[in-house]
Amino acid sequence: MSSLGHRDGLARNYPPPRPSPRPHNTVFDNDTDILPASPHILTRQPSQDIGDRQDEQLPILTHRLRHTSSILAIVLSDEYIYAGTQAGEILVYGLRTFERKAVIEGHRGSVLGLCLNADHSLLFSSAGDRIVNVWRTRDYTRHSCLYSSYDVGDIFCVAHSSVLQTVYMGAQNTSIQWCREDKKGTHAAPTKPAVVAIRDDDFFESRSVTGLRTPRPLDAEDVPRHATGGETIEIDRQNIIHFAHYGYVYCMLLASSLPGSASNQEVLVTGGGDGVVKVWALDPETGAPSELFDLEDGREEGHSILSISLNDSFLYSGRSGGEVDVWDLETRQLIRNLKAHRDDVQTVLVGGGFMFSAAITGYVRKFDRQYNLKSRLKAHDGRVLTSAFTYHRRRPIYVTGGNDNTLAVWDVSDCVTIPMTVSRTSNEQLVDSLGKFISFRTVSSDPHCAVDCRRGASYLRSVFKNFGAATEMLSTQADPNHSYNPIILAKFMGNPAHNGKGKRKKILFYGHYDVVPAENWNGKWIVDPFQMEGIDGYLYGRGTSDNKGPIMAAIFACAELRSEQALGSDVIFLIEGEEESGSRGFEQAIRANKDKIGDVDWILLANSYWLDDRIPCLTYGLRGVIHAKVQIDSARPDMHSGVDGSAQLDESLKDLVMLLSKLTGKHGDVKIPGFYDPILPLTQQEKQLYTDITTALVQRNPDLGDPEALAKSLMRRWREASLTLHHFHTSGPENATIIPRSARAALSMRLVPNQEADKVATALVEHLQSEFLKLDSNNTLTITIDHQAEPWLGDWTNELFQTLERAVMSVWGPIDQSHRRRSSIAPPHITVPPSKDATGYFAAKKSPTTSSDLANGSAVSPSPLSPMSQVNAKLEDFTHTQTSKKGTGSPTKRRSTGKRGASVTEIPPAPPPAPKPLQKPLYIREGGSIPAIRFLEKEFGAPAAHLPCGQASDSAHLDNERLRLVNLYKSREVFKEVFREVVGR
C-alpha cells in the first residue's frame, strides 16, 4: 500500500501533525474575498498589509500539459521539465516545444520529490515506495536505487550535494538519511532488487495472532517498467538521524554556505511537520549532517513547514494555514509573516526578484521584494501541489503542478531584473503574435464578423509594417454598393548585395486570414476557439493551422532574414480574406493591381497538411471544385398527400430524386458523358511516388493494411474526379403529409488536372437538362453554378520543388519513418485499373482509408510505452539485426571453454552506426481545392508549389483545430531556407 503523505491528505502508519489553528487575521476565502476570521491565540501577530489588490497584469499561461494523475513534484533543467506523478511516473517535457519526451515508470508509489545534480546529468526521485531512484538524463535509464535499512515510510524530499557527492532524503518516519556516491556507509544489495519496494509493511501487513495476514494483490510484486538495471544500494543504519523533526520531513534544500559565516561549506536546510526549520552543517568527510540551529516562530504545534526556498540570506517557508514566513539567516530573525492564502501553502519559491506562493486553493500569488502583492491568478482547478522557476533562454519560466492532472507553464517576463533585449522574432514573439491574430473572428462567411475581419486584416498589416515590409490594402469591391474583405499586399525586399550577376528571385507567398466559423455552444472545443491556448505541445484555436499559423511563420522567417541581412529573394505576400468563401473578388482585385504586385518567379503557399502526423510532405496537386444547386419547382402550392396525392401528380421532390439518380452509378461512377475523358493516365514516375508513400505509411502503421489497396484509396481521393450530394431542402412545413412545391439539392464535383471547370459545369447542366426532359414533367428545372475552381498540378521535378525539398531535409533532418509495430510487409507493387472501366475500377467496393485513419495510425506518443531514447535504441538494434541477417562477410568464431564441451560464440563488435540519412519528404496530392492557386499561375506565368505545415490530425475546419509547436517553428525555418537561397545564379 502506497501513500501520498500530506500532499493529498493520506497517511500510512505515522500520526500526522495536528491541524493548525486559524490565526487572528484576515483570510482570503477562495483566495478572492476578504472575510473576518475567528480569533485564536498566537504568540505574535502576522502582518496585515497584504490586500487582495493587483498592481500588475496577470502572468500569461504559456502552455498547459495534461496527464492522467496528479503532479506532485517538479524540477527544471536548462531544457527540460521533469514532473513526478501520483501514479509513480516521471514525465519529461521539452521547454522549447513542450512536447513530451519520455514517461519513466519508475516507482510503485507516488513520486514526492525530484532533484538534479549540478550538471543535470543525474535525476533523483523519491517516492511513497520507500526508495530513491537515480536516473541518467542522457537516456533515462536507471543509474542506481537507494533504500534504507529502516522502514522510513514515504520519502517526501531528496537533495543532492555535488560537492560532497552525497544524496540526502527526508522521510515520513521523521528521519533524515544520506548516502555517499563512494558507497561509504552502505551494505551489499539484496539478491533481488525487487524486494526493495515490496517489503512487508510493519503496520498494514503484520501477521495476526494466528500467523495469517491479508493476501497481497496479484500485482503487488510487479516492478515498474523502467525501475530495472543499475546498482541497488542499501543505506547503512549509521547514516540516519532519527527524529530529525518531530513530524514528517516535508522539504529540504542545500545552500552553498551559511550567510555571514567564514566557512564556505554547504549546509542542509529542512522543514518538517513540527513547524520548525532546521539548518544542518555537513561533514566534509562523511557528509553527515549535524544540527547548527533551528528557526521557530514560537507558535503552537501543528503549523507544518510544507515548502522552503532560499534567496541570498533570506529563507522563505510555506506553512499549513496559509502563511509564509521570511527569515534572515544572518541574524536568524523572523522578519516577515505573510498571510498569503486562506489554506495550506504547498509550495513557495523565489525567482527573478519575486516570491511566488501557491496553495491548495488552486491560487498563486506573486509578491515583490517589499512583500507587496503584485498579482494573483487561478493556476489549477484544484490544489497547487508543486512549482519551479528557471530562466529558459534568458526568459523567466514559472511552472506549477496540481491535482487537476496538469502542469501549467507561465510567462513571468516582468521578473527580468537585468537589462536585456528580447528579439521580436523569437519563438515566444511568434507565438504571441499568432495568439493575437487568432483572437480576431475573421469569419468571412458571417456578416456579423465583418468588422472583426477588417480588424484582423489591420492587425496583420501592422505586423508586416513593424518588420519593415512595404504594405498596402487592395480593395475587393464587387460593385459600388458592396465590397469583400481586403487583400493585404506586403513586400520584403531582398539584400541587394545578393544580386551577383543575375537578379534576385521574386517569390509570391499566398495565404488567407479568414477562417471557417467556430462556436463552442456544444462544448466540443476544449478552449475558446478564438483565444489560442497551448496544450500538450499544440496550439489550439481556429485558424492556427488553416492558415494563420503558416502565414505568421513565413512573416517571421522574412523578418529574421531581413534583420540578418540574409534575405536572398524578394518576397511578396498576398493574403486574402475570402478564401473560405470561394475567394470572392480575388481575381478582379489581382488583375486590377497587377502592376503593384510586379513580376513573379515562384508562387508558394502553405495551406494544407501532411499525410500523417510524422512525415513532412510536399504537395504537388490539388483537385478543382464545382458547387451547384439543382432545384425543381411546381406551379402548384404545397399540398396535402392525402387530399391531392396521386400517381398522375408530378411531385417536385420525386422528380429531383429521379433526376439526381442519373448523375452517379454504382460505387460513385459519374454518369455525365465524357466526364472521365480528359483525366491524365498515371505515369511510371508518379507511380513511384505512391510506392514511396505507402512504403513509409505501412511501415509505420501496419494496421493500414494492404499497401496496394492503400495506394488505390489515395489515388481515388487525389487523382480521380468525384461527385457528392450534400443536402436537400424542401418548401412547406416539415411534416410527413406535405407534398412540397419546391425541392432543392446542393452538390459538388471535385475535378482533377486536365479537367476544365467551365467545360465540366456545362456538361453537368446539359446532362441534367437532358435527363429532366425524359421525365416528361410539368415542373420546371433550375440549375445554379455557385462556385468553381480549377484543379492544379505542379511539376514536382522543377527548381522550386527541389529548393523546398532541400530546405525540408535540412530543417527536419533524419525523419523517423520506422514502424510502430514490426511489419513484414514489403514495398508494394501497385497496379492501377483503367479509370474509365466501370467493371474494373469501380467493381470492388472497399472501405477507403481516410485522413483520420492516417492521423490516428501515425500518432506516436512516448506515453507509458517507454522513454524515447529506449524507442530509438530498439529501432537501431532492429536495423542492425536486419543488416546482420544479410551477412557482412565477417566469420563467427567459436572457442571451447573446456567445460562439458560448452562453447562461447564470439561476435565481432558491430561497427559504429552510420549517420542516419536525410529522408526526403513525401510528394503527395490533395483532395481539397484552393481556388486561387491555378489562377495565380496563369496570371503571373510562374510555377507554384505547396508546403504543408500542419499534421493530418490538425482538425482544420473541425472542432479543436490545432497546430503543433514543433511544426510552427520548423515551418519558419523551412521558409528561411527557401527565402535565403539565392537561385538562378
pLDDT of residue 917: 62
pLDDT average, residue stretch 55-84: 91
Q: What is the pLDDT of residues 667-720, one digit of tens each?
A: 889 999 999 999 999 999 999 999 999 988 888 788 888 888 888 889 888 989
Q: What is the pLDDT of residues 553-589, one digit of tens each?
A: 999 999 999 999 999 999 999 999 999 998 999 999 9
Cα atoms in the Cβ-side hemisphere of radius 13 Å centred on 249: 31
Q: Which long-range contacts (CB under 8 A, 24 or more apart) does 810-815 make?
A: 810/918, 810/977, 811/970, 811/973, 811/974, 811/977, 812/616, 812/921, 812/970, 813/918, 814/915, 814/916, 814/917, 814/918, 814/919, 815/614, 815/615, 815/616, 815/918, 815/919, 815/921
- pTM for the predicted model, two decimal places: 0.82
Cβ atoms < 10 Å from Cβ of 86: 24
Give the residue carrying C-alpha cell 537578379.
Answer: 503
pLDDT average, residue stretch 239-256: 95
pLDDT of residue 901: 38
Cβ atoms < 10 Å from Cβ of 38: 9
pLDDT of residue 521: 87
What percentage of the chain exceeds 90 in pLDDT? 63
Cα atoms in the Cβ-side hemisphere of radius 13 Å centred on 787: 20
Residue 302 has pLDDT above 70, yes or no: no
Domains, the chain: 60-185+220-415 (2.130.10.10), 456-622+922-980 (3.40.630.10), 625-679+721-789 (3.30.70.360)
- CA–CA separation, 310 and 69 (whole Å): 29
Give the residue carrying C-alpha cell 523533526.
Answer: 245
Residue 464 has pLDDT above 60, yes or no: yes
Cα atoms in the Cβ-side hemisphere of radius 13 Å centred on 421: 3
Q: Is 418 exposed, middle or buried (0-12, 13-18, 19+ CB in 10 A)?
A: exposed
- CA–CA separation, 525 and 514 (whole Å): 19
Return the amino acid letter for 375.
S
When mean pLDDT is compared across 569-578, 635-644, 766-775, 888-897, the lowest value belongs to: 888-897
Q: What is the pLDDT of residues 711-753, one digit of tens each?
A: 888 988 898 999 999 999 999 887 788 889 999 999 999 999 9
pLDDT average, residue stretch 27-56: 41
Q: How far apart are the first and last CA of the chain?
A: 72
Residue 19 has pLDDT above 50, yes or no: no
Looking at 276-378, which runs of residues are DSSP E strands? 277-282, 289-295, 305-311, 314-319, 323-328, 333-339, 345-351, 354-359, 363-367, 373-378
pLDDT of residue 304: 93
Query: 724 has which bridge partners?
Result: 748
Quickly state the pLDDT bin for 223 (edges 50, 70, 90): confident
Residue 906 has pLDDT above 60, yes or no: no
Residue 204 has pLDDT above 60, yes or no: no
When mean pLDDT is compared across 194-198, 202-206, 247-251, the lowest value belongs to: 194-198
- CA–CA separation, 156 and 210 (whole Å): 35
Quickly state the pLDDT bin for 866 (edges 50, 70, 90): very low
Residue 888 has pLDDT above 50, yes or no: no
Residue 666 has pLDDT above 70, yes or no: yes
- CA–CA separation, 125 and 89 (whole Å): 10
Quickly state the pLDDT bin for 480 (edges 50, 70, 90): low
Residue 241 has pLDDT above 80, yes or no: yes
pLDDT average, residue stretch 182-194: 53
Quickly state the pLDDT bin for 550 (edges 50, 70, 90): very high
Return the amino acid letter for 690.
Y
When mean pLDDT is compared across 186-190, 420-424, 540-544, 568-572, the lowest value belongs to: 420-424
pLDDT of residue 183: 67
The CA–CA distances, whole Å, from 525 to 466, 544, 962 equal: 33, 14, 11
Quickly state the pLDDT bin for 625 (edges 50, 70, 90): very high
pLDDT of residue 18: 36
- Which residues, 6+ apart, have CB-to-CB distance to 878 below 8 Å? 818, 822
Cβ atoms < 10 Å from Cβ of 693: 23
What does the mean pLDDT of the chain come to?
A: 83
Q: What is the pLDDT of residues 465-476, one digit of tens each?
A: 999 999 999 999
